[in-house]
Amino acid sequence: MPSVTDTVRHGSPGRGDWKETLGRVGLVGKGVVFAVIGVLAIQLALGDASGDTTKNGAIEWVGAQPLGKFLLVALTIALFALAAWRLLDALTGDPVEGSEPKDRAKFAVLGLLYLSLATAALSATIANWNDAGQTSQGGGTETRQQATAVVLDWPAGRWIVALIGLAIIGFAAYQVKKYVIDMQFLERVDVGEESWIASAGRWGYLARAIVLAMVGVFFIQAGLTYDASEAEGLSAALQSLSGEGWGQFVLWVVALGLLAFGVFTVAEAKHRKAA
């Protein structure tokens, strides 16, 4: 007779095993994307600014590697599994992260975001198999700046954009408190606070919070200067750190942290209590 621990970790016999598999495969895909972003950020810290340090850029990087076509197929499948898992969680709840309405709303948003990323991976895969070259870069930046320009034209639009920036910075601070200080991510995984997986998770969440805070600063600048082009994302945040002095130091912290987050996420695929 299976123990309670076995049931939580592997799912009830004959029920939910396929959803469990979706979640764990999806987490591997997510981890690979963040690990590649970390590698590209490390290259940036070393002086190579040719890489696109975004999620789409990470997908394109995978496609450019030896056997990249086959790697892209595997990554695309994993990312669609990730999106499907979160969208299913929006309907059924998650056995670890909760089933409250706010939890399900979060899962729905994540599912749609992951679906967009999976679609980008599919486009890159088709382009590679058709020898059509890499997918275009910068689409996310253009969309974000166009949306910001629309808001700036609203009454008090510049202050709305600035407040969005403040909200992003506040959310980054919340992430630091929740994951870096309180280490609440350990509620999802079957490891202790002293494990290397816990250390990788803390470092990874810190790196993500730093980047998020910088994006918030960009939005504040866009509002104060009435310039939508100031509303930048991950790639521009890392590029802005690639100079000298403290910026270079922070870039290394973030780059290694993003790599650590990717490793943590892959480890979570194995050690997650339930999916």
Mean pLDDT of 78-107: 95
Q: What are phi and psi of 94, to 5 degrees?
A: -115, 135
Angle at 89 between CA 15 and CA 58, to 5 degrees: 115
C-alpha 26/C-alpha 29 separation (Å) is 5
Is residue 275 within 8 A of residue 19, CB to CB? The reply is: yes
pLDDT of 5 over the 50 cut: no
Is residue 31 within 8 A of residue 263, CB to CB? The reply is: yes
Longest CA–CA separation in the chain, Å: 66
C-alpha 137/C-alpha 234 separation (Å) is 13
Cα 167 to Cα 67, 103, 208, 246, distances in angstroms: 42, 20, 15, 25
pLDDT at 12: 39
Q: Can you read off the two tokens belonging to residue 138?
A: 């910068």
pLDDT in tens, 118-136: 998 998 888 887 765 444 4
**pTM of the predicted model, to two decimals?**
0.82
Chain-centroid distance, C-alpha 233: 12
Cα 157 to Cα 72, 153, 214, 233, 240, distances in angstroms: 41, 6, 21, 20, 26
pLDDT of 200 over the 90 cut: yes
Mean pLDDT of the chain: 84
Query: What does DSSP assign to residue 94?
Result: B
**Cα torsion 210, 34, 143, 232: sign:** positive
pLDDT at 8: 39
Q: Can you read off the two tokens belonging to residue 46?
A: 């070393």
C-alpha 85/C-alpha 18 separation (Å) is 10
pLDDT in tens, 141-170: 555 566 666 766 777 777 888 899 899 999
pLDDT at 238: 76
C-alpha 27/C-alpha 96 separation (Å) is 15
Q: What percent of the chain shows pLDDT beyond 70?
A: 81
Residue 140: band (very low, low, confident or very high) from pLDDT cuts 50, 70, 90: low
Is residue 232 within 8 A of residue 141, CB to CB? The reply is: yes
Give start and end residues of each alpha helix (H) in 46-138. 55-63, 68-92, 101-129
Cα 52 to Cα 194, 214, 215, distances in angstroms: 34, 17, 16
pLDDT at 144: 57
CA distance between the termini of the chain: 21
Can you state the angle between helices 55-63 and 101-129, rounded to 10 degrees? 30
pLDDT of 20 over the 60 cut: yes
Which of 37, 44, 47, 118 is closest to 85 using CA atoms?
118
SS3 state of residue 47: coil
